[in-house]
Structure 1
Amino acid sequence: RAEAEGGRTATARRGVDEAAEDRRGEEKGNGVGKRKEKEEETLDAQSPPAGPDEQEVNHLLNEGKTVDALKIILKTAPIGSKCQIVKDAASALAMRVLLAVKASEMEQAVGSLDRESVDVLMKYIYRGFESPSEGSSGHLLAWHEKAYAAGGIGSIVRVMTDRKRV
């Protein structure tokens, strides 16, 4: 029994020694830390745009082109972004667009979307449910009904199981 415990202690010591060696290697610049930096740079280079252009969306909303504004919001959603500020700004803009669309235009708007856009729409709908504002819940429920009719249960499952959030 003492040998088994001693074996565990030796294994634990080896793990601690390896971690300390990694830290020393990073301090010396042997590439361990640099490898992580390169991975982060690669992710930044591949990251999607910083979200929808607020001026363009506001211009479309002022002209009454809510369906076009919706399409821009969905196509430029910062899904892969790690910046919460960008996601919050895009979500707030998406809520403004969703609430600007009249109930009579919802079905036509959802019908003009592809499957991926319907999934992003569902993500924004669920994000809106997380922090409801005055009168938004009923409107979001109407959106959910139309998006569910277009995307089916598969859309809900894809949104709920996807780790990338808006």
Structure 2
Amino acid sequence: MATPAADTASDPYDIAEALADAVDPCLTDAIRNDVWGMLHAGEAHIALSDLVRAIASTNYPVPTDILAALRRYVDDDLATSTPDQWGHDVAVGMHRLLPTIHDSGHTAGTIGTYGDAHMPWIIISDAGLTDDSPRDQKVAAIKAWLANNKPGWALRFSATWDGFGDLIGAQKP
């Protein structure tokens, strides 16, 4: 099982993954798709913005540690970017909405604890398999990965579409 590294609480992907996991009940299918797409594209900043807007509009409470990490990330982003840089306006938008987000009063402890695969394909490929490999080999590769890693929100979400949701405990989005 992966353990959180000291610097993961400032990594936007790790924050977005933990945040999406914590607030999934308040997300619409459209937001889930957008967040997963942005995480898959390496745009965690945009995924965070989508999540912040969804949370602010539903008043869904966020675990204390995740909310604190999100606030630090947005504050640091604002402090190091300038208005002419891409993404600055996204940080400003999140900064304006953060005061409306409620603290749940409990700690999730999930930032940085998930394995690094966000799609079953990554696990299958890392095992040296291809799309044409037999399903039982793919299943074995995923089970081996799961023996040492905790599946994050993005992996659980995409596993359903790839036909491996039953292995990961995913629910149909």
Fold match by TM threshold 0.5? no
Greater relative contact order (Cα < 8 A, sep 6+): 2
- Give the structure with higher Rg (CA): 1
